[in-house]
Structure 1
Amino acid sequence: MKTNGILTLTTDFSDDIYVGQMKGVIVSINPEARIIDLTHRIKSFGILEAAFFISQVCPTFPPGTVHIVVIDPGVGTKRRGIILLTDRHFYIGPDNGIFHFVKKIENLKKVVEIDMNLFKDACFTFHGRDIFAPVGAYLSSGRKMEEFGKIVDKDTIVSLSLPEGCIIYIDAFGNIITNIKKEFFYGDKLIIKYGNKKVKATFARTFSEVKEGEYVVLRGSSGYLEVDKNKSSAADELAAKTGEKISISRAS
C-alpha cells in the first residue's frame, strides 16, 4: 500500500514542548507531510483510553494514512516499537496494548518490529521524537516498512486484558462507554452497578427520551453500550474511572 502523505498524531503530551518537537522532526524529513493532530489530551499513561480513541478516529481517514500513537509509560525499556499495516492504514507506536481495538476492527496484514539499533542516538525517554516520528516521516515519503526492522508474527502484538463489563472510555460529556454489547429492548428498565453504587436507567435510542438528569443507556456510535445522563455527566455522578468494572442488567 502506498502512503498518501497524511500523518496523524495521538499522544498524552498535552500542550507541552514534545508535540512541536515531533512535528519538527517529521517536516525536516518530509517537508510535504500533512500532519493532523487527533488529540494530545489522552490522560497521562492512558493506554486503554488511547486504544479506544484511535480505533474510533483513525479508520475514518483515507487509505494510506500513517498514524503515530505515543502513549508510552514503558519508554526506554525492552518493550517493542512496532509498525502495523492493515488493509487501510499504517500504525506506529509502542507495543503496549494501544493497538488492542485497531487489530480487531481492521484487517491486520503485516507487523514489523522496529530495529532500535537503527536509532542508536535516540533518547531513552523520548522515542516519540527520536524513533516513531522519523519512521512515520520516512514511511510517508515512500520508504518501505521492512527497512525499519523484521516482520514478526501478528499474534504477538500485546493485547489488553479486559473483563467483560469494563469502562473503556469516558468522553468530554461524561458519557461512560463500556465494552458491553448486550441486547435490550428500547424502553427496558435497567440497573447499573458500579462499585458500591446502584442506579436505575432506561434503555433508549437517544438522550432526550428520558427526563433531564436521568440515567439512560444507549448503544453508541461505537456499537458498545454507554451509560449517560441527559444533559449531565454520568461519569462525575458515579465517580467513574476508565478500566474499572461496571454492569448493566434488566431490573427485576
Structure 2
Amino acid sequence: MTEQPLITLTTDFGTRDGYVGAVKGAILSICPSARLIDVAHDVPPQDLTGAAWTLRRALPFYPPGTIHVVVVDPGVGTARRAVAIKVAGMTLIGPDNGLFSLALDDLGRDGLRCREITNPAVRRDDPATTFDGRDVFGPAGAWLARGFPFEELGPEVTDLKEHPTPRPVREGASLRGEVVTVDHFGNMVTNVTRAELAGATRLTLRLQDGDAEVNGLYTNYEDAPARTPVLLIGSSGYLEIAVGNGSASRLLGLGRATTFTLEILA
C-alpha cells in the first residue's frame, strides 16, 4: 500500500443527499490514509454518455496507481456485473454498463485485466440492493488501495460491455457528425476530432434540418463574437459549437444528439 493512495470519485449522486459522504465514509473506514478526489458528482442522473465523457476528459491527467471509483448505475440491483479494470497503470471500478468505453478507447486496451467483484471480503456485509457505490465499489477500491490482490476480487472478465458511441461519417469533402455532450458552459461538443480536420482552411457546419449554419474556426472563446455560434477545437481535442461568453446550446435551443453536416475546405 502506498503511503496515501489516491482514489477518485465520479458519480451522478449530487451533493445534497449525503450519498457521496456515505461512499467516502465507507472507503475511509477501510483505508483511512486514502486521499479522496472528487472528479464530478453532477453527472446527469443515469447518464452513461455524460459519465463516459467526464471520464475521457479527466482520467489521463491522474498519476499512475490512481484508483477511479465511478458510480453511474441505472442497473443497480440487477444482474449487471460490478467490475474492476487494470489498464495503463490505473484501476477503474464501477458497473459493467459501458461507461468506461471512451476512456478505454483513449487509454488503449493493451495489457487490460478485468475482474468481476464477487469476493465477500471486499464488499460490505449485508449490502443494500440499491447502493453499490457505498457497499461494493467504494469498499473494493479501498481494499485494493490497502494491497488486496487484484486477482482475488473475483472471476476474470473478458467481455466488458461497450456503450455505443456515434462516429462521424465522411461523405466526400463533408462529414456527418453529432453533438455527443454539452458541457457546463453550454458548449456543444461533437464527435469530430482535431485529426479529422487536419489541413482544413475553412469549415461550414449546417445543423440538422437546416436550422442554422455555423462558420469560422476560432482558437479561444474570448475572440468569438457575442451571441454568434462559432466553431473551435476544445481542450479535449474535439470540435465544439460555442458562443463567446455564452451558451451555444441555450442560444440554438439544441443539445446532445443534434446532427449536422460539416463541409471542409482544404
So what's the TM-score if we normalise by structure 2? 0.86
CA distance in 1, matches of 2:235, 2:181: 13
8 Å contact from structure 2 (residues 3, 33) kept in 1: no
How far does residue 72 in structure 1 lie from its aligned partner after superposition?
A: 0.4
8 Å Cα contact 1:206-1:218 kept in structure 2: yes
Q: Does 1:161 align with 2:167?
A: no
Provide the rounded CA distance (Å) in 1 between the counterparts of 2:209 and 2:12. 27
Is 1:178 the equivalent of 2:190? yes
Is 2:114 the counterpart of 1:111? yes
Identify the match of residue 145 of structure 2 among 134, 140, 144: 140
Q: 1:138, 1:171 → 2: CA distance?
A: 34
The one-letter amino acid paired with 2:97 is: N
Matching residue's letter, 1:52: W
Q: Write the distance in 1 (CA, Å) between the matches of 2:239 and 2:178.
A: 11
Identity between Structure 1 and Structure 2 (%): 34
The residue identity in structure 2 corresponding to 1:249 is L
Q: CA deviation at 1:246?
A: 2.0
Contact preservation (8 Å) 1:207, 1:216: no
Give secondary structure in 1 for the equivalent of 2:137.
helix
CA distance in 2, matches of 1:145, 1:176: 39
Q: Indicate the larger mover: 122-131 or 164-173.
A: 164-173
Residue 238 of structure 1 and its aligned partner are, at CA, apart by 2.4
1:6–1:114 Cα change, 3 Å: same
1:50-82: CA deviation from partner (whole Å, max 9, x where unpaired): 101111112201100000000001101111111
Give the match's secondary structure for 2:245. coil
Unaligned ranges ≥5, structure 1: none
Query: 1:33 deviation in Å?
Result: 0.6
From the superposition, tell whether residues 3 and 105 of structure 1 become closer, same or farther in structure 2 (CA, over 3 Å). Answer: farther
Which AA in structure 2 matches 1:131? V
Correspondence list, 1:19-38, <5 A: 19-38=20-39
CA contact (8 A) 2:227 2:251 kept: no
How many residues align? The count is: 249
Moved more, 16-25 or 173-182: 173-182
Quick check: 1:240 aligned with 2:240? no
- Residue 30 of structure 1 aligns with an amino acid whose one-letter code is C
Q: Given that residues 97 and 159 in structure 1 are in contact (C-alpha distance below 8 angstroms), is that contact kept between their aligned partners in structure 2? A: yes
Change (3 A) 1:203 1:67: same
Q: State the partner residue of 2:7.
A: 7
Q: Are the structure 2 counterparts of residues 7 and 251 from structure 1 closer, same or farther at C-alpha, using a change threshold of 3 Å?
A: closer
Cα distance in 2 between the residues matched to 1:58 and 1:223: 15
- Contact kept? 2:9, 2:69, Cα under 8 Å: yes
**What secondary structure sits across from 1:41 in the alignment?**
coil
Which of 151, 155, 179 is equivalent to 1:150? 155
Write the letter of the residue equivalent to 1:218: L
- Post-superposition shift, 1:184? 6.3
Aligned amino acid, residue 176 of structure 1:
M
Distance 1:150 1:52 in 2: 28
Alpha-carbon deviation of 1:234? Answer: 0.5
> 1:250 — aligned with what?
263
Aligned to 1:227: 241
Distance 2:103 2:230 in 1: 28
Counterpart CA distance in 2 for 1:138 and 1:39 is 22
Q: Report if aligned partners of 1:67, 1:92 keep a CA contact under 8 Å in 2.
A: yes
* Alignment CA distance shift 1:124-1:38 (3 Å): same
Name whichever of 12-21 and 105-114 sits farther off.
Answer: 105-114
